[in-house]
Structure 1
Amino acid sequence: MCGRYATTVDPSLLAVEIDALDETDPEEALLPEEAGPNYNVAPTTKVLTVVARHDRDSPDDEPQRRIRRMRWGLVPRWTKPAEPGVPAKGKPLFNARADKAATTPAFRDALKYKRCLVPMDGWFEWLTEPGPNGKAVKTPFFMTPADGSRIYMAGLWSVWRDSHTESAPLLSCTILTTDAVGELARIHDRMPLIMESRHWDSWLDPDHEAPADLLVPPGEDVIAGLELRPVSDRVNSVKNNAAELLEPVDPGKAPVGEQISLL
């Protein structure tokens, strides 16, 4: 699974990096961690995503990559409003199994024509081991490219509108997961679906369904480029958000912190 990650890139820089249009709104009201580097991204946070869409004025043109902010936790388009302009609360759909998305009502429409990329510096996962008192001990790890580059995860997105109001539409997304590969399986049995740059155009294509071979776990050669870094258990609390959360620690000397909460 992927319930926590880190991202430090500015949308304008990201747009230049991947040849995309920056469609984020500089006037949008954001939390401090949403407007700048976020070292402890949690579900329901607004995050940066990459989509490919046609220009509304020139629908026959080639689709263009676009940077957009979306709520992490997909809200299906058919969700009923709880109050005017506000979707009813439900299970936070921040992850979707890649092997079941095509048959899951909440994800199957998005998988066809609303696929995205979620850029990040890396993601967190917890290794569970038996402790000296028989209680499980959870050690957080940060999985990140060893060369310091950025990593892009496959995601799905949705647009929710309240047809009874003129409120702005809500864009939301989820991150696809697969069986863990290689050394990652030692820490957790699931992992986010890493999308290699050579597959971006096919994955983002809004006019064609996703090739089935892009929904399988990545090869071990992709995983070999990752560093699996033990980090402080301060990351367990979403209240903690600083660069020190990404620094390596000796797991045997890490202090016992707060309980893990993904929300």
Structure 2
Amino acid sequence: MCGRYAITVDPASSAADLDAIDETDDEFTPDYNVAPTTRVLTVVARHDRDDPEGSVTRRIRRMRWGLVPSFADEIGRSAPLFNARSESVATKPSFAQSLRYRRCLVPMDGWYEWQVEPAPDGKARKVPYFMSRDDGEPICMAGLWSVWHDPRVVDSPPLLSTTVLTAESVAQLSNLHHRMPLILPRDRWDAWLDPDSLGHPDLIVPSAEEVARIGMRRVSDKVNSVRNNGPDLTAPFDGGGDQLVLL
């Protein structure tokens, strides 16, 4: 699964790299401990509202991490849908429409995962690891998005929200956790984002080439608390010093 990640590339740089329009309207701050319900960066491809038959443009938008289905009565009554299993996403009511009409990329530096390991006192503990490309380049995960309007409020503003697709872990990542976020290689981006196509089951499978680029390292238990945020969270940790308890 993917429940925490880091993103330090600002929208302007991402827009240049992705040939996209930056539609964010807030000041960007690097986030080394992104958690569900945070407003995160996403990449979509849409037609211009004034020219629905025209060309498609990539756009960088902020969305709530934790998909809110368009038919939801309200927000917060259940756990946020921050992950969606790629194997069943087409048949789940919460995700099926988004898979057909609203697919996105979720850029990040890398993500965190916890492995249960024995402690010196004999008790098991969860140890955090950070997964990222060995060359330091950003990663784009396959995501879905949705537009929600509060049915209790007349003319309520739209809430954009997103979820990250996951798959069975493969190769070296299976040694850490049985699930992993679905990394999309660059040559799949156009097809995945295309708003004129209806779903892409052939694209939501792990790319062996992309997974092979991923390295993993143990990091400090400081990441366990969402109150901690800084570059030290992704730095390699040798196991010494004070540690915090997983929250």
Q: TM-score range by the shorter chain?
A: over 0.9
CA distance in 1, matches of 2:136, 2:246: 29
Whether 1:36 aligns to 2:23 is: no
The partner residue of 1:171 within 160, 170, 174 is 160
Task: Rate the CA distance shift 1:132–1:258 in 2: closer, same or farther, 3 A.
Answer: closer
2:132 aligns with 144
CA distance in 2, matches of 1:16, 1:89: 38
CA distance in 2, matches of 1:165, 1:254: 54
User: What does 1:77-88 align with in structure 2 at a 5 Å threshold?
Assistant: 77-81=70-74, 87-88=75-76
| Contact 1:145 1:151 survives alignment (8 Å) | yes
| Contact 1:232 1:254 survives alignment (8 Å) | no
| Contact 1:79 1:88 survives alignment (8 Å) | no
CA distance in 2, matches of 1:240, 1:200: 33
In the superposition, the TM-score normalised over structure 1's length comes to: 0.90
2:175 aligns with 186
2:18 aligns with 18
SS at structure 2 position matched to 1:110: helix
Whether 1:154 aligns to 2:142 is: yes
Q: Structure 1: which 5+ residue stretches go unaligned?
A: 82-86
Cα shift at 1:256:
3.1
Whether 1:258 aligns to 2:238 is: no
CA distance in 1, matches of 2:51, 2:39: 29
Report sequence identity in percent: 55
| Contact 1:181 1:218 survives alignment (8 Å) | no
Structure 2 residue identity aligned to 1:192: P
Cα shift at 1:54:
0.4
Cα shift at 1:88:
4.9
User: What does 1:199-238 align with in structure 2 at a 5 Å threshold?
Assistant: 199-219=188-208, 221-238=209-226
What are the Cα deviations for residues 74-133 of structure 1, in whole angstroms up to 9, with x where unaligned?
A: 00000113xxxxx35322100000001001110011001100000000000011123344
2:108 aligns with 120
Task: Rate the CA distance shift 1:162–1:218 in 2: closer, same or farther, 3 A.
Answer: same
Whether 1:67 aligns to 2:60 is: yes
CA distance in 1, matches of 2:36, 2:146: 15
In the superposition, the TM-score normalised over structure 2's length comes to: 0.95
| Contact 2:183 2:211 survives alignment (8 Å) | no
SS at structure 1 position matched to 2:243: coil
CA distance in 1, matches of 2:6, 2:12: 18
| Contact 2:219 2:235 survives alignment (8 Å) | yes
Cα shift at 1:205:
0.8
What are the Cα deviations for residues 207-260 of structure 1, in whole angstroms up to 9, with x where unaligned?
A: 1123222111221x3222112011101000000001110110113x35431223
CA distance in 1, matches of 2:207, 2:241: 31
What are the Cα deviations for residues 31-80 of structure 1, in whole angstroms up to 9, with x where unaligned?
A: xxxx3100000000000000000001111112110000000000000011
User: What does 1:104-115 align with in structure 2 at a 5 Å threshold?
Assistant: 104-115=92-103
SS at structure 1 position matched to 2:61: strand
Q: Structure 2: which 5+ residue stretches go unaligned?
A: none
Corresponding residue pairs, total: 246
Return structure 1 stretches of 4+ with deviation > 6 angstroms: none
| Contact 1:158 1:171 survives alignment (8 Å) | yes
Greater CA deviation, 126-135 or 57-66?
A: 126-135
Structure 2 residue identity aligned to 1:258: V
User: What does 1:238-249 align with in structure 2 at a 5 Å threshold?
Assistant: 238-249=226-237
Greater CA deviation, 128-137 or 166-175?
A: 128-137
CA distance in 2, matches of 1:25, 1:73: 20
